Structure 1
Amino acid sequence: MEKCALRIITLLLSMLLLAGCSSMQQSIHDAAINYETSAAGLESQELTFEYGELSILRTPEMRDNRQTLILVHGFGANKENWLKLAQQLEGEYNIIAPDLPGHGDSVQDPGLAYGIPRQAQRLMQLLDRLEIEHAHLAGNSMGGAIVAVAAAEYPERVASLALLNTAGIHDHPAELDRHLARGENPLVLDDPSDYDELMAFAMNEPPFIPWPVSAVMAREAYGNRDINRKIFEDMEADREMDFRAMLARIQAPTLVLWGADDRIIDAANAPLVAEAIPDSRLEILQDIAHMPMIEAPEKTAQLMRALIREAAGNSGQQAGLN
């Protein structure tokens, strides 16, 4: 019995020592992401555009009898931010979640422009490549602004729009704005050890991430600090655009969803976004911060299902009148 216990202890210690090795951490991270991706019924795909490589997660078999849902992440994030939500919706929709240029596994070229309108154009290029004529769009933070611009510019291609803590209107400053006024940007890591603070800044209760996995995420976020600064500068330049006028052009049924405790874009801006969009519904989630698709995936999925059903019903009624 003592020898058996000793073997178990030795094995556990060996695993802990291996977990401290960066290559082992990467292997554990990759295995965890692959598991979550498979649980969502998705697979990865690499596509080449004139600006470089684009990495996406997608439903392997796109079915004609399913609605198509495009999920667009926020600043400094990646396509894997949508996995918990995608698991809630698995089997219900054709799902596409790209790594935007500058993010994740997609091209990171400091020579590219990463402003909101340019990223919206690239998103539509992706839909063209995948031969998707009509889709439901959802975006978080910067991704919300991108899908909102896409809905305004290409109304005939957008069936519905879900804006989660969207960037664009910043009349009410958030805690992030106060940091920026002091020359600090907590969204861009100065050291990998700041990663846990970043997660706590973005979410009230970040999901549990095993240390070997979070260590890889921290290194990646730190390694992306230069391209993230470039993207943030391009995004900040877009604050000069008349975002309200753009929102007023949106024709698709829209869900404006916000976490009440958002420290990055204050929830007081949520009613202003909803007021600017002609056919919109506002939902504020209590005890949730900036990323409802991670913090409250079940509730977020429920609200998005209702939006898609409403949009599909409206489309059917209009088709019957034509």
Structure 2
Amino acid sequence: MSEDPPSRVAAADVPAARPSATSLPPLTSLLPPWPGEQLPVRGGQVFVRATPWTGPVDGPADDAPRERALYVHGLGGASTNWTDLAALLAVRFDGWALDLPGFGRSQPPPRRRYSISGHVRAVIDVLEHIARQPGEAAGRPVHLLGNSLGGLVSLLVASRRPDLVATLTLISPAMPVYRVPPAFSRALLLLLVPGVPSLAARRIGAVTPEQSVRGMIRMCFGEPAKVPRERIDQAVQEMRDRAAQPWADHALTRSMRGLMTSYLRVDAANAWRAARALQSPTLVLWGARDKLVDPALAPRLASVVPDARLQVLERVGHVAMLEAPEATARAVLGMVETVTACRDPHAAVDTPRGVRR
């Protein structure tokens, strides 16, 4: 039997995140997707977008920290999910965001076998590529951020290769709960039945891009009515581009099946067991209105990770990096600044007044 998640834990029982007061660039307009390129990974290639470091907003760039980060999207998402957050975190990070195999602009994996272990291997390969790049942070561990499916994958990467991960940020990670959330149709359980994923892919293919985007917004956002029209139009165009790929629907349904079957693991690949063994400082960040992964899991996960801090964002759903990029950026930077200060007692930690500890 799979290892169960811990019993219910209150948010007050785990350390709270300390948001940073670092000045951030304003997000006054809709940013276009960052440019990218295809990178080789085991068995193929993945598309990776790059967000260059900008340095501090209101200070000299000389001697300012310049580190590296990798962003991993969720099921049905893409590297473009991180456009705004990567722009904010560019004050400290050179950022990379990959399209997992079969998603975004990435080709399907070998033999089109979509599994959590395959996604883990792809992320490890990209992390190794980033660490090899010349520059100030060459050879150093990378800050790893993942959402939903990408959060689960990132957790397993950090447990398997702690040498590659400086800090870990888990945004509503798809942790095993062994029950179907109310937002999901019970029909998803049929994806475990051989042959059904192919049928599901054909059904998904009949949904228009506009219907798909609006359905995802209703499911993933805490306040769907506040999503700007420009963001919806951008998402629809991205969905049209994805629909032109013959493997797109197959990638979605097979990856969902891979996610569900991963919940049955009883070995070291079990996500809850891996969480208990994490060595990297970890931020657990959740939206209080998450309809896809129960927010009650947030303090439970933070309680089992050895060096974790917790941030729950009110009125936010499943994709905090899209809905609340500034609050997410401040939580990430706060963790990184605290970790740096612990390693260097002379380093300053920029923490706003009134932050609850």
Deviation at 1:249, TM superposition (A): 0.7
**2-structure distance, mates of 1:307, 1:135:** 14
The TM-score, its normalising length taken from structure 1, stands at: 0.78
Q: Which residue of 1 aligns with 2:207?
A: 191
1:236 pairs, out of 260, 264, 270, with 260
- Return the structure number with greater helix share: 1
The 8 Å contact of residues 162 and 279 in structure 2, kept in 1 or not, is answered as: yes
The CA deviation string for residues 136-185 of structure 1, in whole angstroms up to 9 with x for no partner, is: 11100000011101111111221111100001232565223454468698
Greater relative contact order: 1 or 2 (C-alpha under 8 angstroms, separation 6 or more)? 2
Partner letter of residue 54 of structure 1? V
Please list, as runs of the form range in 1=range in 2, the aligned pairs for 1:300-319 lying within 5 A after superposition.
300-316=328-344
Q: Which residue of 2 aligns with 1:219?
A: 240
**1-structure distance, mates of 2:164, 2:331:** 21
Q: Structure 1 residues 315, 120: CA separation in 2 closer, same or farther (over 3 Å shift)?
A: farther
Q: Structure 1 residues 53, 271: CA separation in 2 closer, same or farther (over 3 Å shift)?
A: same
The CA deviation string for residues 179-218 of structure 1, in whole angstroms up to 9 with x for no partner, is: 4468698995640142212221111234324465344234
**2-structure distance, mates of 1:98, 1:154:** 18
Partner letter of residue 324 of structure 2? A
After TM superposition, which residue ranges in structure 1, 4 or more long, deviate above 6 angstroms? Answer: 61-64, 184-187
1:158 pairs, out of 138, 162, 165, with 165
**1-structure distance, mates of 2:54, 2:278:** 27
Q: Structure 2: which 5+ residue stretches go unaligned?
A: 1-28, 56-62, 133-138, 192-199, 346-357
Q: Which residue of 2 aligns with 1:57?
A: 49
The CA deviation string for residues 245-292 of structure 1, in whole angstroms up to 9 with x for no partner, is: 111110111111101111111111222211221111121111111000
The TM-score, its normalising length taken from structure 2, stands at: 0.71
The 8 Å contact of residues 172 and 268 in structure 1, kept in 2 or not, is answered as: no
Q: Rg larger in 1 or in 2?
A: 1
The 8 Å contact of residues 178 and 263 in structure 2, kept in 1 or not, is answered as: no
**1-structure distance, mates of 2:70, 2:309:** 19
Q: Percent identity?
A: 25
Q: Which residue of 2 aligns with 1:253?
A: 281
Q: Which residue of 1 aligns with 2:40?
A: 48
Partner letter of residue 339 of structure 2? A
Partner letter of residue 124 of structure 1? I
Q: Structure 1: which 5+ residue stretches go unaligned?
A: 1-31, 318-322
Q: Does 1:77 align with 2:69?
A: no
Give 3-state SS (helix, strand or coil) of 2:296's partner.
helix
Deviation at 1:105, TM superposition (A): 0.4
The 8 Å contact of residues 47 and 106 in structure 2, kept in 1 or not, is answered as: yes
The 8 Å contact of residues 147 and 173 in structure 2, kept in 1 or not, is answered as: yes
**2-structure distance, mates of 1:307, 1:61:** 19
The 8 Å contact of residues 169 and 272 in structure 1, kept in 2 or not, is answered as: no
Give 3-state SS (helix, strand or coil) of 2:103's partner.
coil
